[in-house]
Amino acid sequence: MELSDNISSLPGIGEKLTQAFANKNVLTIYDLLFYLPRRYEDYSNVSKISNLRPGLVTIKARILNISVRRARRGLLVTEAVASDSSGSVRVVWFNQPYRKTSIKADCDYYISGNFKLSNSQFSLINPSLEQATNEIESGPGIVPIYSESKSLGSWQVRKSIKAALPLAQKINEFLPSYILDNLGLIKISQAIPQVHFPENTKTLEVAKTRLKFDDLFPLLLANELNSLDRRSQKALIVNFNLDLARRFVDRLPFKLTNDQRMIIWQIYKDMQSDLPMNRLVEGDVGSGKTVVAVMAAVMALEEGYKVAFMAPTELLAKQHYETVFKLLKPLGMEESLFLLTGSLSLSQKRKVIDCANDKVNSFVVGTHSLLTSGVRWDNLALIIIDEQHRFGVDQRMELQRQTGHLPHFLSITATPIPRSLALTIFNDLDLSVLREMPANRRPVTTRLIPPSSNSIQMTELRNQLEMGRQIYVVCPHIHSQAEDDELAAEKVYQTYSKVFNDYSVGLLHGQMKSNQQDEVMKDFIDNKINLLVATTVIEVGVDVANASVMVIYGPDHFGLAQLHQLRGRVGRGNYDSYCYLMLSDSLVPNIRLRSFANIDNGFKLSELDLKLRGPGVIYGKLQHGKGFSRLLTLDDQNLIKMVKKGVKIFIDKGEKLLKYPELQSRVDEARRITYLN
């Protein structure tokens, strides 16, 4: 047998299990061996119920009398009684109604959790459950717990991995042995068995360290190589012109915030050097990033250079074009501005390209096809990238090939990178953060709406429409995914069209033709559409000051950062604004959604998301390769130090990556992405 063989060639894995694993993207034996536990339970220390003391405990017992009831604020409480030969104890789960159907009456379970007072009664609160199969009883004290589904229990995963374990020997070591020796790391073929079936907590830690190292090492090495590369390239020098900066600021209809001033200053400093700038400006929606970017751009234009401004969609490109136009006009620089998008006819395109080429100092706004549009970029001094974190090494190399130099890179985003990530994984990036919001911004009131309040909700929406405001309604899907799927934009659109048949209701999603999308969006901007049902195509950048309500269906389908982006679409005018998260029967309010309602700061939310879901879930997928394992957290300073040391050892040794093909492919994967995805 080989690692690349399908798992069905292992003894004991039949069709059903193969399918269940396939649903988790586990196809080969290799995949299976790298299907890591979510956590571990230490069942070596089982208490008798009669001996329980408050604190974390494990008992082995049967579970009876399970009931579910709804308590205040929609909380679902599942209660049961656990009994062993010594006595009984109350068990309580909050918001886990599925417990009722998943627990078997005639089975012993290991039950682990906090034993404490609840409702003036000592109870086990939110314990984890593990069926006490023979498997565990004969096994060691530390038991791996895997991500479970109806068709795939932890015990089945354990059994399957046991069968695959002998093949762990065959896992190729992709790290040079001098790195392992120098840092005291064990081989990957040793780490895999220990991470599934650890001998003790110490061997488990050693194994986890190796796996976490593998998550970070290629990334940090890629970073270092990117950085070395960038430092070996040259950019055009953009001199600072005080008079121009003054004129720009004087003609603004508002005063810059201190953060804006500071960041522009940094950017001007960067651009005065021939070392290509690589700066990311993060700022919450509405914090005024565009002005900052345009101030950078005018300096390059004044110098006789080109500037490219790339937006993720045509619609945003158009909006940016209009914003930039307004900012350039008072300076008399608007004639340098061009909009180049795919929806232009060929002859229109030709005209724009010729014009842009004619004027040496053009400012061209478009999508990422800009760079291959036919504009000659030889005097490109600055690229501004909006909300598009993927500007990879490939594109940089293409520019370098076309022009013989690299432009300065300025990326602007409202998706905050938690500090911990920025400092470790993206350390080739200079980070500027706009923390200060322009004065007069109104916070958006956020509410969780239980299914029972749906009709009240509709009345509130109607009130807003009657006041002349506009409304966004966002859904996670376009089409219904299943019979009972109420989260599809098409379906929700039908509902809202009926309820608000005296208003104009629009539909917008990514499968519509792009000119159709533009039309709908334009109608919304012009207030010809009052209520817009959409998917997350409206997530980034769109600016309609008259919109005061954001309704989000299936909020659990979105990350906190994404929810925050959506919420940022409203509250951009002078009106009280609201964000409603629509709960469903199967979705009870959880800590994530509750925190979202209470926290109005994108940075705090991103840190929280990172903490709750881990980097693996948030930043897990590199373009098409290996992501982070679940194990990685970024608060482990010792690990980060160790990885940095490894990178230094490797680079100092001056070896060719080519010698280590597997490492090279991982590093290439990581290098292709300069920023987050």
Q: Contact residues for Mg ion (CB under 5 A)? A: 541
Query: Residue 436 or 485: which CB sits closer to ligand ADP?
Result: 436
Strand pairing class (547-553; 470-474): parallel
State the nearest-atom distance from the C-beta of 312 to ligand ADP, in Å.
13
CB closer to ligand ADP, 287 vs 530: 287
Provide the β-strand partners of residue 578.
445, 549
| Binding-site string for ligand ADP from residue 253 to residue 292, where x marks contact by CB under 6 A and - marks none | -xxxx--x----------------------x-xxxxxxx-
> Does position 642 bind ligand ADP by CB under 6 A?
no
- The closest of 68, 514, 432 to 262, measured between CA atoms, is 432
For the bound state, the minimum distance from the C-beta of residue 225 to ligand ADP, rounded and expressed in Å, comes to 32
Q: Which does 565 bind (CB under 5 to 8 A by kind): Mg ion, ligand ADP, none?
A: none
- Half-sphere CA count of 289, side-chain side, radius 13 A: 26
Please, which residue, 33 or 324, has the CB nearer to ligand ADP?
A: 324
**Residues pairing with 577 in the sheet:** 444
**Residue among 110 and 268 whose Cβ is closer to ligand ADP:** 268
Nearer to Mg ion, 414 or 520 (CB): 414
Least distance to ligand ADP, CB of residue 539, Å: 12
Token reading at 215: 């998550």
Q: Which of residues 75-134 bind ligand ADP (CB under 6 A)?
A: none
- Closest separation between CB of residue 461 and ligand ADP, Å? 25
Identify which of residues 289 and 666 has a Cβ nearer to ligand ADP in the complex: 289
Tokens 């019979």 sit on residue: 483
Which is nearer to Mg ion, 541 or 589 (by Cβ)?
A: 541
- Only one residue has tokens 């090495």, namely 221
In the complex, least distance from residue 440 CB atom to ligand ADP, rounded to whole angstroms:
7
Question: Which of ligand ADP, Mg ion, none does residue 287 bind (CB under 5 to 8 Å by kind)?
Answer: ligand ADP
Q: Minimum CB separation from ligand ADP for residue 309, in Å?
A: 12
- Residue 454, class by beta-carbon neighbours within 10 Å (0-12 exposed, 13-18 middle, 19+ buried)? exposed
Instruction: Quote the least distance from Cβ 570 to ligand ADP, whole Å.
Output: 13
285 binds, among Mg ion, ligand ADP, none (CB under 5 to 8 A by kind): ligand ADP
Question: Can you give the length of the chain in residues?
Answer: 677
Site string for ligand ADP, 537-576 (x = CB under 6 A): ----------------------------------------
Q: Of 311, 306, 312, whose CA–CA distance to 321 is shortest?
A: 311
Rounded Cα gap, residues 674 and 223, in angstroms: 8
CA distance 583 to 563: 14
| Integer Cα distance of 631 and 646 in angstroms | 19
Residue 538 Cβ vs Mg ion, minimum distance, rounded to whole Å: 13
Cβ(52)–Cβ(27) below 8 Å: no
Q: Which residues contact 408 (CB under 8 A, 6 or more apart)?
A: 235, 236, 238, 270, 271, 276, 277, 279, 300, 381, 382, 383
As measured in angstroms, the least distance from the Cβ of 390 to ligand ADP is 19
- How near is the Cβ of 291 to ligand ADP at its closest, in Å? 5
CA distance 584 to 484: 12
Nearer to Mg ion, 127 or 568 (CB): 568
87 conformational bin, left if phi > 0, alpha if psi -120 to 50, beta if neither: left
Hunting for tokens 């021939």 — which residue is that? 274
Residue 515 CB, nearest approach to ligand ADP (Å): 24
Tokens of 298: 């005018």
**Which of 200, 179, 383, 214 has its CA nearest to residue 300?**
383
Considering only CA atoms, which of 146, 150, 173 is closest in space to residue 162? 146
Alpha carbons 385 and 631: distance in angstroms, whole number: 32
**For Mg ion, which residue has the nearest CB?**
541
Nearer to Mg ion, 375 or 384 (CB): 384
Cβ(36)–Cβ(629) below 8 Å: yes
Which one, 292 or 352, has the nearer CB to ligand ADP? 292
Residue 151 backbone phi and psi in degrees, to 5: -95, 0
Residues 13-32 close enough to bind ligand ADP by CB under 6 A: none
Tell me the residue nearest to ligand ADP as measured from the CB.
288
C-beta closer to ligand ADP: residue 80 or 291: 291
Q: Judged by CB under 6 A, which stretch of 58-66, 249-257, 443-451, 459-467 contacts ligand ADP?
A: 249-257
Give the tokens for residue 409.
Answer: 């890179």
Cβ proximity to Mg ion: between 387 and 600 the closer is 387
Ramachandran class of 465: left when φ > 0, alpha when ψ lies in -120 to 50, beta otherwise: alpha
d(CA 95, CA 104): 19
3-state helix, strand, coil in the chain (%, to 5): 45, 20, 35
Residue 283: name its binding partner from Mg ion, ligand ADP, none (Cβ under 5 to 8 Å by kind).
ligand ADP
Partners of residue 77 on adjacent β-strands:
69, 94
- Name which of 194 and 367 has its Cβ closer to ligand ADP: 367
By CB neighbour count within 10 A (0-12 exposed, 13-18 middle, 19+ buried), where does 429 fall? buried
Residues of this chain that interact with ligand ADP (CB under 6 A) are 254-257, 260, 283, 285-291, 414, 438
